[in-house]
Amino acid sequence: MCKINPKVDLAFKKLFGSEENKDLLISFINSVLSEQEQITDITIKNTYNISNYINGKMSILDIKAVDENGKWYDIEIQVAPQTFYDKRALYYWAKVYSDQLQEKGRYGALNKTIGINVLDFHYLEGNEYHNTYKLYNTKTKVEFSDILELHFIELKKFDKNLKDIRTALDRWVAFLNNAYEYSKNKIPKELEEDKNIKKAIEVLDVMYLDEDEKALYEQNLKALIDKQEELDTAREEGIKEGIKEGIKEGSISIARNLINIGLKKEDIIKATGLSKEEIEKIIEEIH
């Protein structure tokens, strides 16, 4: 099975952001785009370089690229849930878009910029795992400009079995979600038919990490595991607290009824489990 998790940002960047794997990036981008927007070549503007990451020049491992028609792309995977990811996605889109002005010096030279956000958590409403956003007139639905296009791919919403896979994006998402089950000698026929998916599995299966890469990979992986543990713990504590609150609210309601029918304070304490002070407070509220 693949020993490297492609959801870890460093591994994702090394897999899709390396010059030798440019064909994988093209295939992934094409799986997201419409049939009319398919690309044949791309230039990666921030190719994978571990020294840049170590020296703090690449704190965010997104992939910036431009295709043969001048369209720009910003691709990022995010595993840890973020409350304001919509703002983050727009910020990084805007950064890639506005940086073109520094290079070309005029508004007319600004080209369409497409943000592709791969999320390993639920964020948007609805059950569709792939959602696209553009600029439209809210009344006429006429497109204002095609300059902005944002894609959100929510991996956890993908619930198709291999036999139900139909599209190239289905195959890429199945790969990202289940890479730990595959190896170069164990590739499902539904994925093996796509030469790029096949290559991605083979590359990931034999991917070598040097000491620096391994340290960063394990650090990122540990951070993701710790974050998930924190979320699970918070969720469990919230459920427990909710149950406690529900029980207490029920006890208070019962106490009110017993007070109204004239039951003695001592008997109400025994019946509800509430303290003497809590019962006296309820009596004051009633009277």
- For residue 67, give the nearest of 29, 117, 107, 115 by alpha carbon: 29
179 and 107 together in one domain: yes
* Number of independent structural domains in the chain: 2
Mean pLDDT of 20-40: 96
Give the list of residues 6+ apart from residue 15 with CB closer than 8 angstroms, or none.
6, 21, 24, 200, 203, 204, 207
153 and 275 together in one domain: no
105 and 79 together in one domain: yes
For residue 267, tell me if it sits in a domain.
yes
The CA angle 22-27-29, to the nearest 5 degrees, is: 95
Render pLDDT for 179-232 as a digit per residue (tens, 0 to 9). Answer: 888 888 889 999 989 999 999 999 988 887 878 777 777 777 776 666 666 666
Using the predicted structure, report yes or no on whether residue 167 has a pLDDT greater than 90. Answer: yes
pLDDT at 250: 76
pLDDT at 56: 55
What CA–CA distance (Å, rounded) separates 73 from 225? 29
Q: Lowest-pLDDT range, 125-139, 159-173, 178-192?
A: 178-192
195 and 223 together in one domain: no
CA dihedral 101, 63, 94, 148 (to 10 degrees): 100
For residue 1, tell me if it sits in a domain.
no
pLDDT at 118: 97
50 and 166 together in one domain: yes
Q: What is the pTM of this model?
A: 0.76
191 and 247 together in one domain: no
Last residue of a domain, one of 208, 224, 249: 208
Write down the mean pLDDT value for the chain: 85
Q: Percentage of the chain with pLDDT > 90?
A: 49
42 and 85 together in one domain: yes
Using the predicted structure, report yes or no on whether residue 258 has a pLDDT greater than 90. Answer: no
235 and 260 together in one domain: yes
Render pLDDT for 39-81 as a digit per residue (tens, 0 to 9). Answer: 999 999 988 777 665 655 545 578 999 999 999 999 999 988 8
Mean pLDDT of 135-164: 94
> How does 50-65 read in b/e, with b if 16+ C-beta sit within 10 Å?
beebeeeebeebbbbb
Mean pLDDT of 259-285: 78
pLDDT at 106: 84
Last residue of a domain, one of 208, 231, 262: 208
Choose between 240 and 275: higher pLDDT. Answer: 275
For residue 101, tell me if it sits in a domain.
yes
For residue 2, tell me if it sits in a domain.
no
The range of the structural domain enclosing residue 213 comes to 209-287
105 and 17 together in one domain: yes
Render pLDDT for 188-201 as a digit per residue (tens, 0 to 9). Answer: 999 989 999 999 99
197 and 220 together in one domain: no
Instruction: Assign 240 a pLDDT band (cuts: 50, 70, 90).
Output: low
140 and 272 together in one domain: no
Last residue of a domain, one of 208, 238, 266: 208
For residue 4, tell me if it sits in a domain.
no
Render pLDDT for 81-125 as a digit per residue (tens, 0 to 9). Answer: 888 899 999 999 999 999 998 877 788 889 999 999 999 989 999
pLDDT at 37: 94
95 and 154 together in one domain: yes
First to last CA, the chain: 70
- Which DSSP letter does residue 151 get? E
pLDDT at 234: 60
